[in-house]
Amino acid sequence: MSRPRDFRLNDGTVIDHLPVGTAARALELLGLPREGPITVGINVPSPSVGRKDIVRVEGLFLEKPELDRLALLGQQITVSIVRDGSVSDKTVLDVPERLMGILTCSNPTCITHTEEVDTVFFKQDGFPYRFKCAYCERVTSLDDVQE
Ligand SMILES: [Zn+2]
């Protein structure tokens, strides 16, 4: 099956298998658009996951903290790096058991709001992901991701 011509990247990143409805959130988390053109597919049929969102960004290469934020959106998100029109690297994102400096604690009296400390959260079981603050034990969700 051939892909529409306008969906091809020359050099950039494809963020695939996003859960349906999370493409906009992914763009927001990554502070996109920046420079290059972006194609967004929403509710795209997928043989492996049924339906998915997909984002293709020309000229974008993500850093580790950005990948860690993205990983929070879904369980099988795939990030492919495209160089010279073909995929040079493909990774399925994984959420670490311990997150540092990515989430903000939703408890207004938590020490992380008043002291100069990195937030630390532990991943809880299940999906959508939830995380427990190491300082005050408040359980927090994706809405509290720092942007
Ligand atoms: Zn806290």
Residues 59-108: pLDDT tens digits? 999 998 899 889 999 999 999 999 999 999 999 999 889 988 888 898 99
- Of 92, 107, 128, the residue that ends a domain is 92
Q: What is the pLDDT of residue 90?
A: 96
Are 79 and 11 in the same domain?
yes
pLDDT tens track for 114-138: 999 999 999 999 888 899 999 999 9
What is the CA(5)–ligand 1 centre distance, in A?
A: 48
- CA nearest 142: which of 40, 15, 126, 57? 126
Within 13 Å and on the Cβ side, how many CA atoms surround 30? 28
Are 57 and 73 in the same domain?
yes
What is the CA(123)–ligand 1 centre distance, in A?
A: 14
What is the CA(113)–ligand 1 centre distance, in A?
A: 8
What is the CA(120)–ligand 1 centre distance, in A?
A: 8
What is the CA(77)–ligand 1 centre distance, in A?
A: 27
Q: Are 80 and 56 in contact (CB under 8 A)?
A: no
Are 11 and 45 in the same domain?
yes
- Residue 141 clears pLDDT 70, i.e. is over it: yes
Can you give the residue range of the structural domain that contains 9?
Answer: 5-92
Residue 26 belongs to domain with CATH number: 3.30.70.140
What pTM was estimated for this model as a whole?
0.83
Relative to beta strand 130-133, strand 120-123 is antiparallel
- Compute the average pLDDT of residues 9-14: 94
